[in-house]
Structure formats: C-alpha cells, structure tokens
C-alpha cells in the first residue's frame, strides 16, 4: 500500500518529469507493466463471477428502480423505492437490532476466540484437536438446526428454565424468545455461540505461525502471561482478526435465517432486521422493487463497514 501511494504522489508532484495529464500517464505506465496473457488464466473464474455474482447484483440494482410484483410488467420508479426506504419507520429499529447483532456476532466471538486461543496456545491441553473440533462444531451445523435446538433450550419448559428452577432462580424463568425484553439478547447469544468457534480456529492457526523466539524474548524481558498476550500474540494476529471481523460482521448484518427461525422478528417487532424485510418484500408482499432497494443498501452498508474494519485493523500492516 505504502509503495503504491508513494508512486502515485510521485507522479503528480511538481518534481515529476511529466506534469501534464498525470493520470493518463499513470494508467499507461500501469498498462505497460502488465503481462496481458496472464489475464487469460483469470477468464474462466471471471466468467463465473460475472454470471453468478455480478449479474444478479446488477439485476438487483436494476430491479430496485422499478415497482414490480415479481410477475407482471414492472413500472419505472426511479429512486422512489429508496425514498420510501428512508421514510419507512420500521428501518431504524431494524438497524438498531443489527448493531446489537454486530456486537454479539462479531466483537464478542472475536474477544472470546482471542481468550481461548491465548489460553490454548499457552497451556498444553491434552486432546487439543478434540476440543478444537467440539468448539468449532456450532459453525458447521445448519442454521435451521441451530435455531430449532435453541428454540427448545429457550422454551418455557426447556432446559434453561429447568436449570434456573433447579438452582432456586425460578423467578427468572420465562419464554426467553417470546419476551419483549429478552428476545433480542437471546437471539444474540445464539449468534455468539455459532461464531466464536470460527474465530478461535482462525486465531489458533495464527498463533502457531508466531515465531517462538518472540515469546522467549518477551519472557526474558520479564513479561507475564497477560503482558505477553498483548505484546506478542495480539499484534501478530492482526490479519486474522481482520478476517474474522469481516466474516462475522457480514454474517451479523445479513443475518436472516437465525432470526426467522427463532422469532420471525417478534415478539412485536423487537427482533426485526433488514433482511426480514427483504424476505417479506420478495416472497410475501411481492414488492420486489422495494426489497431489491433494501438489498442494495444492505450490500453498500456491508461493504463500507467491512472496508472500514479492514483499514482500521489491517491498514498499517501492508
């Protein structure tokens, strides 16, 4: 990153030999550096990417400019769908719920994963592979399975309430997913449980590539376990943390299946997220244009947020 930035400032700075039309010069220079036949190798992948990723993406953006019931001829709406979106009272609360999910699906799992990775890398655990596999398990389960299991755990007669009653906290029992005050945190906890395994495995892999000399040096300098974690482990894991955050934040923002299969947005509207409205617009109320507009905005938000995270966490590295 630094090298490229320097090259560019170099080209546009007064000292440069070619002050006129610097941009064209830069492009030409860039073009002359390329080995064009190399792009042929990218072609098959690019075709699939265009067909199955960019195509649908463009199509969604295009449809978002229409009022369309998904069937009969659509009516040009320009940016009306987006304007409606900004006046839609349901969106702000849905975004607030999404923020809670970002904390629970991204920040908490990353923190937990770091703690676990720190512990596991320090202490010699017997059967580490086994524990790692078990802790990673939530990640490979189908979301619907996860949702149904947790619905049962949270049930009014479920194991969570049974455990509370067993320890004399019967006053706290409730239908966790059916209560206005607990539904959102309850769904959030499920997300933390699903995601921390992934973070942990990523970080464990990262820890293994840290040279042991660094730990030795830190210990020689008299660093305790906590100091060692912050001075050696954490900085070395910056790349992994960025990846983990991007994956988990994306999952949190586009979260749909967990919410739909546990609470369907309820009780009332206490757990709605933007994806719920996309689903409803596309499949239930047949306002495909409006649903496409939410999708486009959601994609933009995900790109911006992950872009910012990448820059913040990883920026200085390359």
Give contact residues for other proteins (rule: CB under 8 A): 1, 4-5, 8, 30, 50-51, 54-55, 57-59, 61-63, 66-76, 151, 154-156, 174-180, 263-269, 280, 283-288
Largest CA distance in the chain: 81
- Measured between alpha carbons, how far is 10 from 252 in angstroms, rounded to an integer? 41
Smallest separation (angstroms) from other proteins to the CB of 56: 8
In the complex, least distance from residue 34 CB atom to other proteins, rounded to whole angstroms: 12
Question: For residue 139, how many other CB atoms are within 10 A of its CB?
Answer: 16
Of 190 and 198, nearer to other proteins (C-beta) is: 190
On whether the CB atoms of residues 74 and 67 are closer than 8 A, the answer is yes
Q: Which is nearer to other proteins, 236 or 310 (CB)?
A: 310
C-alpha Rg value of the chain to the nearest Å: 25
Provide the minimum distance between the beta carbon of 258 and other proteins in the complex, in angstroms, as a whole number: 15
Nearer to other proteins, 74 or 239 (CB): 74
- The least distance separating other proteins from the CB of residue 198, rounded to whole angstroms, comes to 27
Instruction: Check: CB of residue 183 under 8 Å from CB of residue 263.
Output: yes
CB atoms within 10 A of CB 181: 11
Smallest gap from Cβ 135 to other proteins, in A, equals 28
Residue 143 CB, nearest approach to other proteins (Å):
17
The residue (of 63 and 313) whose beta carbon lies closer to other proteins is: 63
Tell me the HSE value of 114 on the side-chain side, using a 13 A CA sphere.
21
What is the DSSP pairing of strand 75-76 with strand 66-67? antiparallel
Which residues have C-beta within 8 Å of that of residue 266, sequence separation ≥ 6?
A: 178, 183
Q: Of 178 and 239, which CB lies nearer to other proteins in the complex structure?
A: 178
Closer to other proteins by CB, 179 or 214: give it.
Answer: 179
Least separation in angstroms between residue 128's CB and other proteins is: 38
Q: Which is nearer to other proteins, 128 or 148 (CB)?
A: 148
Q: Are 107 and 100 in contact (CB under 8 A)?
A: no
Degrees (nearest 5) of the Cα angle 112, 118, 121? 135
Distance between CA atoms of residues 16 and 5, nearest Å:
15
76 forms bridges with which residues in the sheet? Answer: 66
């Amino acid at each position: 990153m630094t090298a490229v930035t320097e090259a560019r400032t170099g080209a546009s700075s007064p000292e440069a030999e070619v002050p006129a039309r610097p941009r064209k010069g830069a492009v030409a220079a860039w073009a002359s550096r390329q080995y064009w036949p190399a792009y042929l190798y990218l072609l098959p992948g690019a075709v699939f990417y265009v067909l199955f990723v960019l195509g649908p993406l463009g199509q969604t953006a295009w449809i978002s400019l229409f009022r369309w019931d998904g069937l009969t001829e659509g009516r040009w709406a320009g940016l009306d769908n987006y304007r409606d979106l900004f006046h839609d009272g349901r969106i702000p609360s849905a975004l607030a719920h999404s923020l809670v999910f970002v904390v629970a699906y991204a920040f908490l799992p990353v923190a937990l994963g770091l703690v676990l990775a720190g512990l596991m890398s320090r202490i010699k655990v017997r059967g580490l592979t086994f524990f790692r596999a078990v802790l990673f398990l939530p990640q490979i389960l189908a979301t619907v399975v996860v949702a149904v299991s947790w619905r049962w755990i949270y049930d009014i007669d479920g194991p969570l309430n049974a455990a509370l009653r067993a320890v004399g906290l019967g006053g706290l029992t409730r239908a966790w997913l059916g209560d206005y005050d607990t539904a959102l945190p309850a769904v959030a906890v499920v997300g933390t449980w699903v995601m921390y395994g992934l973070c942990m495995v990523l970080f464990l892999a990262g820890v293994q590539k840290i040279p042991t000399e660094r730990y030795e040096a830190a210990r020689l300098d008299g660093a305790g376990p906590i100091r060692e974690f912050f001075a050696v482990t954490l900085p070395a894991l910056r790349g992994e943390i960025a990846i983990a955050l991007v994956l988990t934040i994306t999952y949190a923002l586009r979260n749909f299946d967990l919410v739909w299969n546990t609470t369907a947005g309820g009780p009332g509207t206490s757990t709605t997220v933007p994806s719920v409205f996309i689903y409803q617009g596309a499949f239930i109320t047949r306002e495909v244009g409006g649903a496409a507009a939410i999708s486009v905005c959601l994609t933009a938000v995900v790109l911006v947020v992950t872009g910012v995270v990448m820059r913040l966490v990883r920026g200085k590295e390359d």
